[in-house]
Structure 1
């Protein structure tokens, strides 16, 4: 299965039968796949690990499975499908759940959803709250991981979703996890480090790419490239991608933290933060914003002031770029490379 390629060229992760059996056991536990009347919707493109990771357990357990069309996503058509097929378990990326939850038709529909899940991209607090409001009787499960891990490595149970809003949960039983610094030392509880993995769900390596394989497995653990922290209860929170982290004046600035602060602005629909060269600080954050109302976008000064009330001064963006839509790959992940190019070129969309 090929990786998403959001930080570079996609790589082919070689997955074994053992890897996918581990994924099956992980999802059975996460989604409590023990009833005979489950109907599962597979919504991701078949070239994405989220689709294969969901489909294999369904085949093993013999559950009716609805493979949805990919391409342009229509929330009303998706709700029609859930109702018509009696779907009990559905996974979407956060932007799709956002569109579904905005539908005024939900209260009048006869839906059987028992589990709603999301992953493949971060979900804002606003989206998670909308999901809880739209589907109060469904367990809201966050699944986190990556192609190289078959893919799920951590799960946030629905019972913890509101108390631990924004968390990706705890490691699944079949995956060993450490949070380490650059020297492979475990970081203290609460400190930020890279999450590394090993266990039966770990890929065999990258296809025809021994150099990247050796790099990914240095120190005997698979290096995810994700920066996380653990709270006092052991719940994990993604802070940033290692390759996306901004170093401004010697201080680490995590894009996810800045994005979360700006996303709370009432006139912001979506936001992505990238680093931009700065003559004094080396680089500083730049916020690329999609306005909620394109005809009345928020002013850059207003957004910077809004962010400054929620962030330390060195973390606030020094520039805001307004665009019509964030660039995404076919699985819904934001592509930051073209955003960086746009910012460097000084374009305003």
Structure 2
């Protein structure tokens, strides 16, 4: 079987693991449904038939605005089979968001949930020729637009090439507005094998997926590698911080992947008498404070490993592979990844223990994204092609020690100069989130007539009825942070502005 395309990877998995469980779906009601690889392939065929009947074929875009559900997975794999491409979007998108997406990608088919049909049609207007309206439950694949389609219409294999576009994924937009990341069949096939190896995944393993499917983490790090080895995925319709541990146990998960923000939510909402899990492997992204890390490690039954990757890098760049993983290390490059750390000012290689921008060597359309949608200037700024290949400038700052181990310090514009000293806002946030009475925090840099820039903290109280006092937080910061890193002001807010996967949109804090 051809496994250099994602279409081929899925068909190979069905052939080799037909009777093994593939998808276990936990609906919001608590009902659990299950499909083997062979059973779900029938669902994929029907979904492909529905899309083909609506005019979808090679090179045609499909706009998918659904939360986690079997239909999302079926449509993704059906699009791959047809040689078309998918534009997954936040199911909570406003009509304005939808209008902007539709104008950029001009889909032939839009897919939305019945509960959001009015919003979708309001945004799409007449620019989407066909809108498929689905229920976001397990039954949608047994009845409705997907189940009624003629699967025989797509039995004959489409000619799909590795370089064919498979998706355009909009970035989270934590520091700016989202860009459309173009991804190929080869990108998904490659990430499947690399991430399976990185997580030591085997057929008997099962991912616990609660992050949204329209985002890279669930697709790249969980579903794609499961398909590569014939493992299974336990998909939840929604994320529940208070029930995350119980659901992982109920669904017999062995592996999990989360961002730091959801981890902190789980820690804050899990009952103190909850029985710990016994997971084999946990990925997490974005540094945790040491206290939070140790508590979460005890809760999941293994020491989580921090990874580093972006939508644009497809597979991760590096991960903590140490014998005893720690809270603030993103480790060393995985497999054949090559990197460099560049001083933002001199543009030369940064010295050890000095912050520098992370650059990743690769091939666009294979182990790097193919480019930004209809934005040649942004693509040109991100890529630098030389004799070694193509370097991608991530925009993220890291520190590499003398042993080559990397530590993430934030985005290039997340590090401020305070009286000549570099301060990582990301690191200050991780620390402040552990302060007494604080549930979570965002830290921004503001102008200061004496120190140039200084950090200012926006905090959400753990108990809204008994919020922390600014003077107590000042005293805590004096004991736990370097002078330059101490917030000069504390603002209490009800909640932080976030992306759909829990990342803080710092550029909207305080606005």
State the TM bucket, normalised to the shorter chain: 0.7 to 0.9
Partner of 1:147: 311
- The SS at the match of 1:159 is coil
Partner of 2:414: 244
CA RMSD of aligned residues (A): 2.2
Match of 2:241 among 53, 61, 75: 75
Partner of 2:44: none
- The SS at the match of 1:227 is strand
Task: Mark the runs of 5 or more structure 1 residues left unpaired by the alignment.
Answer: 342-349
Deviations 1:215-240 (A, max 9, x none): 11146521111111022332211112
Q: Tell me the CA shift for residue 151 of structure 1.
A: 4.0
Alignment length (residue pairs)? 332
Q: Tell me the CA shift for residue 260 of structure 1.
A: 3.6
Q: Distance in 1 between matches of 2:493 and 2:320?
A: 33
Task: Mark the runs of 5 or more structure 2 residues left unpaired by the alignment.
Answer: 1-168
Partner of 2:350: 187
CA contact (8 A) 2:409 2:426 kept: yes
TM-score by length of 2: 0.61
Q: Tell me the CA shift for residue 139 of structure 1.
A: 4.8
Partner of 2:104: none
Q: Tell me the CA shift for residue 103 of structure 1.
A: 3.0
Q: Distance in 1 between matches of 2:438 and 2:471?
A: 14
Q: Distance in 1 between matches of 2:264 and 2:432?
A: 17
- Rate the CA distance shift 1:221–1:288 in 2: closer, same or farther, 3 A: same
- Rate the CA distance shift 1:56–1:272 in 2: closer, same or farther, 3 A: same
CA contact (8 A) 1:248 1:284 kept: yes
Partner of 1:40: 207
- Rate the CA distance shift 1:296–1:78 in 2: closer, same or farther, 3 A: closer
Partner of 1:4: 172
Instruction: Answer yes or no: is 1:86 the counterpart of 2:264.
Output: no
- Rate the CA distance shift 1:84–1:269 in 2: closer, same or farther, 3 A: closer
Partner of 1:129: 294
Instruction: Answer yes or no: is 1:22 the counterpart of 2:186.
Output: no
Partner of 2:263: 97
Q: Tell me the CA shift for residue 340 of structure 1.
A: 4.3
Q: Distance in 1 between matches of 2:478 and 2:278?
A: 43
Kindly indicate whether structure 1 or structure 2 has the higher relative contact order, using CA contacts under 8 Å at least 6 residues apart: 1
Structure possessing the higher radius of gyration over alpha carbons: 2
Partner of 2:280: 114
- Rate the CA distance shift 1:76–1:230 in 2: closer, same or farther, 3 A: same
**1:1-349 equivalences in 2 (<5 Å):** 1-34=169-202, 36-53=203-220, 54-70=222-238, 73-101=239-267, 102-104=270-272, 106-107=274-275, 113-119=279-285, 121-136=286-301, 138-157=302-321, 159-161=323-325, 164-182=326-344, 183-199=346-362, 200-218=366-384, 220-341=390-511
Q: Tell me the CA shift for residue 275 of structure 1.
A: 0.9
Q: Tell me the CA shift for residue 286 of structure 1.
A: 0.4
Q: Distance in 2 between matches of 1:20 and 1:313?
A: 45
CA contact (8 A) 2:441 2:459 kept: yes
Q: Distance in 2 between matches of 1:19 and 1:99?
A: 32
- The SS at the match of 1:56 is helix
Q: Distance in 1 between matches of 2:437 and 2:231?
A: 42
Out of 225-234 and 275-284, give the one that drifted further. 275-284
Q: Tell me the CA shift for residue 287 of structure 1.
A: 1.0
Deviations 1:73-131 (A, max 9, x none): 32354334322321111112223333444334532x7x552112222x43222221112
TM-score by length of 1: 0.87
